[in-house]
Structure 1
Amino acid sequence: MPKLISDPFFTIIKAGISGISIPDHFDLMIEKPHPLCLLAANQLQDYLNNQSDWVHNFGLDRQSAGTIIGKMFGVLVVRNQNQEVGFLAAFSGKLAGRNQHTHFVPPVFDLLTENSFLNVGMEALTKMNEEIKDLEEQETPQTDPQILQLKKARKAYSVALQNRIFEHYHFLNQAGEEKNLIEIFQNIGYKNPPAGAGECAAPKLLQYAFQHNMKPIAMAEFWWGQSPKSNFWKHGHFYPCCKEKCEPIFKHMLAGIA
């Protein structure tokens, strides 16, 4: 008998699913979530309401401290190598100041690792900013060329750092083909990927599924917490994946399954 493969991020759906049909093709939520995604999301929301693993102020409790940051969460219903149907969960960006938490798949690339090139790069940019500020406070004609030169150097360094970040985000599809963010977005006519591309919940979920030979069945995302003033998201409501950041990535990741 083959050995069963366990996975720390694969969660069995507690509610019975025997009466729910498994879709023949991958179901990416457009208007409403697949019934399997609803069950998975309800289970995840129950965890969010009752967990004590971390502290994050979603703006749902007046007694919570810290900046209010609502968050998009995603569930991906999959069939694992043991032929079990369950789900993976992910959050967009960071949660409670961290990229990695129990029950949630890891980021495609973790920018927050200690001594990472991003941390080193941000320290260099901070130093440039301080030098520019010091020169500007002197307010002498002699410092103007230095300030201009430093600002040009800062811009070039910042662009190079951002491109290096994009190059470290590698995305798989079902066929095992891999592309980084720059390749993905340039293939459809973008000069550069938008900031934050690859940090949404959906690409994280698909990446983990493909890396661990799980078959994606259906996926949906919901908003949890207060909405930022610049958006219209409502707590607990489901929304389709974003067009600007995710659709270009999906063209690559969902090739052959959607």
Structure 2
Amino acid sequence: MTDQDLYPSYDSATLLHPLSWQGALPDHLNCPFYYEPDALCSLAMKEVMTLLRGGHADGWEPLDETFRQEAGQGKMFGVLVVDDGRHHPCYLAGFSGQIGGQSDGPGWVPAVMDYLQPDGYFKTHEAEIVAVSRRIKALAGSEERQRLAAEIDRLRQERDRHVAAHRATMSASKQRRDAMRQSLEDSRHECGGDWLRARLIRESQFQKAELRRIKARWNTRITETEERLRAIDREIVQLKAKRKQMSDELQLWLHEKTILLNGNSLNDGTAQAKNVLEIFREYGEEHGHPDLLPPSGTGECCEPRLLQAAYRLGLRPLSMAMFWWGASPKEEIRHEGQCYPACNAKCKPLLSWMLQGIPVMPNPLESDDRHPLEIVFEDADISVVNKPSGMLSVPGKNGRESVESVMRQRLGIPDDCPIIVHRLDMDTSGLMIVAHHERAYHHLQDQFLRHEVHKRYEALLERPLHTEKGTVSLPLRPDPDDRPRQVVDYTHGKEAVTRYERIGTDRVSLWPETGRTHQLRVHCAHREGLDNPIKGDRLYGTQHEGRLCLHAAEITFRHPTTGEKLTFTTAVPF
């Protein structure tokens, strides 16, 4: 098998699906990291969703029940509307990863690289890794290892029993010897006394030596058995190291062989291609991370698959959208039929390359919009500000305006003096405390660490809330592949607790007892929380119109200099 066999062929007759459309075509592709699906994408998604429900769509073969059932367990699908070359819109459709062990199917764009060929490099080496994993599992669960572990426990118990019995004998003997010595002292009888005292000393010394011998005998048996167990465990450790090396090498091969085109191919007809490793290295160098490596699964999302198909067919992308289908993962928040932006860890470096040469709408998250910052309170030590939705709390990677940058400029505070004690999400509005000097900063930070600062938020939910009040406790951690998204993780997540109380049909007050990123948003949206997303939440909700309806309405703390208890409130802007 040659490298050429790794790359699929693209047939426009089977991959291109027509759209009935009479309007103008977009002149810019929507930003895949921040968008609402346009009318063209909505039409295409409607057809794909009809198929997934078991219906019929023009140009498609009906989906078999096995495909639909697996998709219903949860899968990301995507559509890319393209110009067919005659100013008529058509669309490509795809899904992330695999369904039924396949990365494509009739009507679906294939994976960028077909590494699933049964006799190919990947599957051959994957089988070798699986064999090592089986050997590890066999050793870890072997009867011999279990027998040795049980034998070690038995020997330790026997040792402890014999040692305890000998110590009891020693204690009784000591009491007897002490009594005999006392009798010798009381009788003041010297005849034979020295001989008896010497005998008692020898007896004590013998029993102490015998205790050491008992311990040594049992410890020798235990050590010999432990060494046999360690030999098995050393083999397991060596096999795990071998498996990791094999996995890393196979991953490296995948990333070297996954070659992606970009939009310049459509402009001059010359294919511009780079592999995933090259793309990540150049992106990392440009963004100050020269050692950036692609995560596992890079290139398997819908976005690069769809764009690669368009470029291979020579078609210009017009608009794209990715939507979730089926059940939500337990740890994440996904809503069926809801569109989601491209992930940051895997897709952002890839799309920074693939979209070159294509006119793309700017990312509003990276724009340098200016916002007025209301000063609610200010003295020589602190300011309390009302941050508007859309403003960062601290400067981001692109130097966008933030509460910190505005307040440093306003107050003339140097960069080496910390001033931001706590943060609000960019889309959240409300009250923040800003320190004017280091002493105030540390005093306020200590109050936060001791949970002495109390904050109340107000949120507008997507639906009426039927519970009056309660507490949500769901541990959170970041999603490393899609920061800043958070996921619920009962094993590795950090404790996150929120109290809530309904104050209107669909309005709640929220009191965070911990301060995790996106805590209130996840606790409202997650099915084990309120199961009712905050209105306008683009990450965790379904209604994206307008701003995120979450506002830090009240904060109580002690003044860092006077010690006075202060409470500030601000009007809710929604």
Question: Which interval holds the TM-score relative to the shorter structure?
Answer: 0.7 to 0.9
Q: Is the 8 A contact 1:74 1:90 kept in 2?
A: yes
Structure 2 distance, partners of 1:116, 1:31, is 39
Select the residue among 228, 251, 275 that pairs with 1:180. 275
SS in 2 for 1:186: helix
Q: Deviations over 1:164-219 (max 9, x none)?
A: 11112111002221111111112222532111111111111100000110010111
* 1:12 equivalenced with 2:18 (yes/no): yes
RMSD: 2.3
Q: Displacement of 1:82 after TM fit?
A: 4.1
**Are residues 114 and 75 of structure 1, via their aligned partners in 2, closer, same or farther at CA, if it must alter by over 3 Å?**
same
Q: How do 1:109-188 residues align onto structure 2 when only pairs under 5 Å count?
A: 109-136=113-140, 137=142, 138-139=144-145, 140=228, 141-175=230-264, 176-188=271-283
Structure 1 distance, partners of 2:48, 2:241, is 47
Select the residue among 315, 329, 333 that pairs with 1:228. 329
Letter in 1 for 2:281: Q
**Are residues 143 and 47 of structure 1, via their aligned partners in 2, closer, same or farther at CA, if it must alter by over 3 Å?**
closer
Q: Is the 8 A contact 1:56 1:95 kept in 2?
A: no
Letter in 1 for 2:314: N
Letter in 1 for 2:344: K
Q: Which residue of 2 aligns with 1:23?
A: 26
TM-score normalised to structure 1 length? 0.86
Q: Deviations over 1:105-154 (max 9, x none)?
A: 11101222121212111221122223334445344244454444333222
SS in 2 for 1:28: coil
Structure 2 distance, partners of 1:9, 1:25, is 23
Structure 2 distance, partners of 1:68, 1:159, is 32
Q: Is the 8 A contact 2:94 2:306 kept in 1?
A: yes
Identify which range, 175-184 or 142-151, moves more after superposition. 142-151
What percentage of aligned pairs have identical amino acids?
A: 34
Q: Which residue of 1 aligns with 2:51?
A: 47
Letter in 1 for 2:37: P
Q: Is the 8 A contact 2:112 2:299 kept in 1?
A: yes
SS in 2 for 1:196: coil
Structure 2 distance, partners of 1:44, 1:146, is 50
Letter in 2 for 1:242: C
Q: Displacement of 1:67 after TM fit?
A: 9.4
Structure 2 distance, partners of 1:131, 1:233, is 37
**Are residues 181 and 108 of structure 1, via their aligned partners in 2, closer, same or farther at CA, if it must alter by over 3 Å?**
same
* 1:81 equivalenced with 2:182 (yes/no): no
Structure 1 distance, partners of 2:241, 2:26, is 54
Select the residue among 185, 197, 200 that pairs with 2:301. 200
Structure 1 distance, partners of 2:85, 2:128, is 45
**Are residues 121 and 24 of structure 1, via their aligned partners in 2, closer, same or farther at CA, if it must alter by over 3 Å?**
same
Structure 1: gaps of 5 or more residues: 59-63
Identify which range, 238-247 or 211-220, moves more after superposition. 238-247
TM-score normalised to structure 2 length? 0.40
Q: Displacement of 1:28 after TM fit?
A: 3.1
Structure 1 distance, partners of 2:347, 2:318, is 18
**Are residues 116 and 55 of structure 1, via their aligned partners in 2, closer, same or farther at CA, if it must alter by over 3 Å?**
farther
Letter in 2 for 1:186: R
Q: Displacement of 1:78 after TM fit?
A: 0.4
Which one scores higher on RCO, CA 8 angstroms, separation ≥ 6? 1
Q: Displacement of 1:81 after TM fit?
A: 3.2
Structure 1 distance, partners of 2:83, 2:35, is 23
The structure whose Rg is larger is: 2
**Are residues 81 and 120 of structure 1, via their aligned partners in 2, closer, same or farther at CA, if it must alter by over 3 Å?**
same
Structure 2: gaps of 5 or more residues: 1-10, 57-61, 146-227, 265-270, 285-290, 361-574
**Greater per-residue helix proportion:** 2
Letter in 1 for 2:246: Y
Q: Which residue of 1 aligns with 2:341?
A: 240
Q: How do 1:61-76 residues align onto structure 2 when only pairs under 5 Å count?
A: 69-76=73-80
Q: Is the 8 A contact 1:55 1:96 kept in 2?
A: no
Q: Which residue of 1 aligns with 2:149?
A: none
Structure 1 distance, partners of 2:245, 2:12, is 46
